[in-house]
Structure 1
Amino acid sequence: MKNVPLAAVDHVDRAVLPIGTDYPPGHVLDWHEHRRAQFLYGATGVMVVDTAEGTWTVPPERAVLIPPATRHRVRMLGVSTRSLYVEPSAVPWWPATCTVVDVPPLLRELLLAAVEFEADYRLSGREGSIAALLLYEIAERAPLPFHVGMPASSDLARLCRAYLAAPDAEATNAAWAAETAMSERAFTRRFRAETGDSPAVWRTRARLLASLPLLRTASVSEVGARIGYASPAAFTAAFTRAFGMPPSRFTAGPAGGRR
């Protein structure tokens, strides 16, 4: 199915509903939730998924697993998606929080085939076999670290969401503490308790996540400078430490992209 609203087919008696959707650049799917679990694959572009618990940045040709009944928002940056909406009873192993995963060639081809199905596709034969194999392949995926946690308290969450919208390498713990009318020590202790990271570590990771959409249209040198790194080497080293692969993997040039 292509460009079909989930609400129009959610009632169909199929454990897996595949839907492909094309979005205009910068499109935002505002806060919503699904009864079903969702496997959201970005065949092109970058997606940013927000929940109350955190933010997940999904590079091109990766996917995010969204648990059922999870309120979320998705920002689409040049994205064409291939989604699976899955009955919760069919996937008791589904993660309890959003999870970014790789999409190897076999899974990608199965997704591309599945979105050509009708909503009431045959459960026997090729179509039913593909739907079943999709779930086996998804269950084998390992999580990728493209996310930051979000503090539970509204004042800290507000600071973090503002920073994600406009990362600033010059931001300091002292400035953030002043915005919450706390001492720097008390602020740092509370921030670490709510996120598991110090504010400085959290901001560094947030800036690195913000680089992923930029790498679609700019060089590693340009992106590193834009997010506050003194040299391409420093940016590459920080990015590789955080995500296990260099930023050149995500550039649009011949050396970038999925390998």
Structure 2
Amino acid sequence: MKVLVLGGTTEARRLAGLIHGEFAVVSSLAGRTSAPLLPAGEVRIGGFGGATGLAGYLRDTGVGAVVDATHPFAATMSGNVFEACAGTGVPLMILRRPAWSAGPGDDWHRVASLPAAAAGLPHLGRRVFLTTGRQGLPVFAGLDECWFLSRSVEAPTGDVPRNLEVLLDRGPFTVAGELAILTRHHIDVLVTKDSGGSPAKLAAAHELGIPVLMVNRPATPPAPVVATPDEAAAWLRTLRR
């Protein structure tokens, strides 16, 4: 059975590694980074042309199941996948890492969007560790009263904040490393998306008493959801029975 795994996430790569050889796995990457970490099996890079194009791809290539393992904030792609699978009858499973939850002593401020984070930022701090990805930087471009340290895999383009230092790095990150960054740059507020995964930066912010502006993840389409690659692989195996 041919399985289409969508997403360049860690979970997507792990799933591809688990099922490669057991299924004909095709991993689809968006192509937003020039040197992505490639999963096992066949790799496809680039878009499909919306829900209609993806539906055509599913029919033309004989895909028997789809796992949406995209980033929790890839709302447009997830919507297209849901629509394409609903229209073609191809089974769909969503693989999403669990969201983060604040614990005792955490100073989190949840907001609905990046613009809402930018609006509330000056009230919480002026030296900002921004870990929302390079594509969100234009939202913060007008905050000249703040200084930003932005971390991303590749350098940003387009509008960026006037007072910006860019840190090019790829995870996983450690608590010790995050503590060193926050301390060295005198960070007084962390801005991040609720993408789940390693909580190293959140643990470091907690230890230093730094407030966190947390952007809530968008709603997941109404399809079955699992939290781990092992669960997604187990679901795929049930389809062969």
Same fold (TM over 0.5): no
Give the number of the structure with larger relative contact order, counting CA–CA contacts within 8 Å between residues 6 or more apart: 2
TM-score, with length taken from structure 1: 0.27
Higher helix share: 1
